[in-house]
Structure 1
Amino acid sequence: MSAKVIHPISLPAVQTSRKIEHTVRGMPTSDGAGVKLLRVLTQDLQRRLDPFLMLDEFRSDNPNDYIAGFPDHPHRGFETVTYLIKGRMAHRDNHGGEGLLETGAVQWMVAGKGIIHSEMPQQKEGRLQGFQLWLNLKSTDKMCAPGYEDIGEETLTHFQTENGTTGTIIAGQLGDLKGPVEKPNTEPLLLAISIPAGESAAIAIPSTHNAFAYIFEGNVEIEGNTAPLQTMAILTNSTSADGVRFENKGTEESKIYIAAGKPLNEPIAQLGPFVMNTRAEIEEAVFDYRAGKF
């Protein structure tokens, strides 16, 4: 396996920063076979943060919180992006997709017209930590063929600035650097950054995109307002804003997961693991799943 390459970068200047519209604290819940997690982006925010449908953070050193994993379950109509910060997790689906997600890697799955998969921890001790983000599909793509891709840490795009800020680009473009994934309909920018104590970082974001920042270590200030640990800062939309400026005024490193995407502006109908445009399409998804058509 190749070692990851860290690219030196001067982050593009941000003339006008977005602000914090409001913050959302993650709500403790469980999913799968009892995996404990924080659900951050919920259904009531889907219109505001279109094309993003859900964000979960999982983080525990206690194997009882994660060991049962996520046995076989279905999806239709969207994509899942799993970023594993620490740990090992195996994926297997009914379309032949199979892989081992390890520390620093990403799993990108297209549910399309229907997929049944499992996500099972491959460790019995130690920390399991990461994020799963649901990204909507355009109505004309919801019944596309399912797909699965493992993106190793060495394939992701890593950078470091002169002030010691480091980052990983999963999708989209930042300055002259591109992540390994591009999606033309939603144009997602997905990245994680670490800002040293006392330093700042500016991230360019297209003014056409909805965006949020989730703080998973430390805290940051955005235009004078604080975003604390384990909160999602929904960033204001403005045609004049060309990005967002983060300031770490604390005494420890701040780590932020940033997502921005071009809204689809289409109806959203969701029932559990199925996300379509109409209630009739949801009923069809349930029927097809029960009929073994996934």
Structure 2
Amino acid sequence: MRKIEYLMEGKRTSDGAGVSLTRIIGTPELNMLDPFLLLDEFGSENPDDYIAGFPSHPHRGFETITYMINGKFKHEDTAGNEGYLTDGSVQWMTAGKGIIHSEMPEQTEGLMRGFQLWLNLPKEKKMVDPSYKDIQADDIPLVNFNGGQIKVISGLYKSILGPGRPHTGVLYLDVHINKSSNIEIPIEDDWNAFVYVYEGEIKANLCVPKGMLAVLETDGAFKCNAVANNTKFIIVAGEPIREKVARGGPFVMNTKEEILEAFDDYQSGKLG
């Protein structure tokens, strides 16, 4: 059975044009968890925390997965894609060789809550054509179990395949579990995995309260039980790429030279 290796708390920060968020992966304490480069949680009922949004900005060399739990965002990019993120929907974007996009709120009040995950691309796929997939809430399968339900966003759970189609192996589940119930989640051996509790509390070999990230060991299934009512957590696992990573702002490549090339391409209008 896969145990919790250690716990971490996210760091409050802001991004975009001033959106308040909690950075969970991508901090000095946890720079990345191969293949995951960044995990942000955004959540507020105060419009001042999200209204400025994320105006046009570039990306190259990775994928972004935005899971909107509550709220409405509009997405536009230079590949000609346009879509809306609403309650329970997912935006899956492959930046590949380069894309310029914006993510702006389509609401002026009420709760805005969700996650954005950055998923690295292997060297041979960093320069693929950019693409975008809008996954509606109704297209995300639900698996009911005794004590709760699981949303299968990506990967395979109990023969149910999620709609997310990453370029590498990824499992992404949103688990809702009642107090005193337990769940066992199979994970591919040698994959890196984490759990983030966004409501309630779970217990495995360690207790994981709301707002804590649990980094898991790399072998076996993960089993836990809920110790609070209305417990909700995401569990994400991925096949490590095991390549050098060079980062520069919105670009993630393998070398510093490739990062400089990305900035040059952006400034000269060749990116996106």
* TM-score bracket for this pair, using the shorter chain length: over 0.9
What SS does the corresponding residue of 1:82 show, helix, strand or coil?
A: strand
Distance in 1, matches of 2:222 and 2:39, equals 20
Q: How does 1:268-279 map to 2 (within 5 A)?
A: 268-279=245-256
Candidates 190, 197, 205, aligned match of 2:187: 205
Superposition deviation, residue 143 in structure 1: 0.7
Q: Does the alignment pair 1:85 with 2:69?
A: yes
Q: Does the alignment pair 1:182 with 2:159?
A: no
Q: Deviations over 1:69-95 (max 9, x none)?
A: 000011000000000000100000111
Q: How does 1:240-279 map to 2 (within 5 A)?
A: 241=220, 243-250=221-228, 252-279=229-256
Two-structure CA RMSD over aligned residues (Å): 1.1
Q: List gaps (5 residues or longer) in structure 2.
A: none
- Give TM-score scaled by structure 1 length: 0.90
Question: For the Cα contact (< 8 Å) 2:44–2:112, is it kept in 1?
Answer: yes
Q: Does the alignment pair 1:71 with 2:55?
A: yes
What SS does the corresponding residue of 1:288 show, helix, strand or coil?
A: helix
**Residue 266 and residue 46 in structure 1: after superposition, are their counterparts in 2 closer, same or farther (change >3 A)?**
farther
Distance in 2, matches of 1:141 and 1:46, equals 22
Amino acid at match of 1:192: D
Amino acid at match of 2:268: A
Superposition deviation, residue 159 in structure 1: 1.4
Q: List gaps (5 residues or longer) in structure 1.
A: 1-16
**Residue 46 and residue 209 in structure 1: after superposition, are their counterparts in 2 closer, same or farther (change >3 A)?**
farther
Amino acid at match of 2:135: I
Question: For the Cα contact (< 8 Å) 1:212–1:259, is it kept in 2?
Answer: yes
Distance in 2, matches of 1:222 and 1:87, equals 32
Question: For the Cα contact (< 8 Å) 1:43–1:53, is it kept in 2?
Answer: no
Question: For the Cα contact (< 8 Å) 1:81–1:134, is it kept in 2?
Answer: yes
* Identity level (%): 47
Distance in 2, matches of 1:32 and 1:181, equals 25
Superposition deviation, residue 24 in structure 1: 1.1
**Residue 117 and residue 144 in structure 1: after superposition, are their counterparts in 2 closer, same or farther (change >3 A)?**
same
What SS does the corresponding residue of 1:99 show, helix, strand or coil?
A: strand
Superposition deviation, residue 157 in structure 1: 1.3
Superposition deviation, residue 140 in structure 1: 0.6
- Give TM-score scaled by structure 2 length: 0.97
Q: Does the alignment pair 1:169 with 2:152?
A: yes
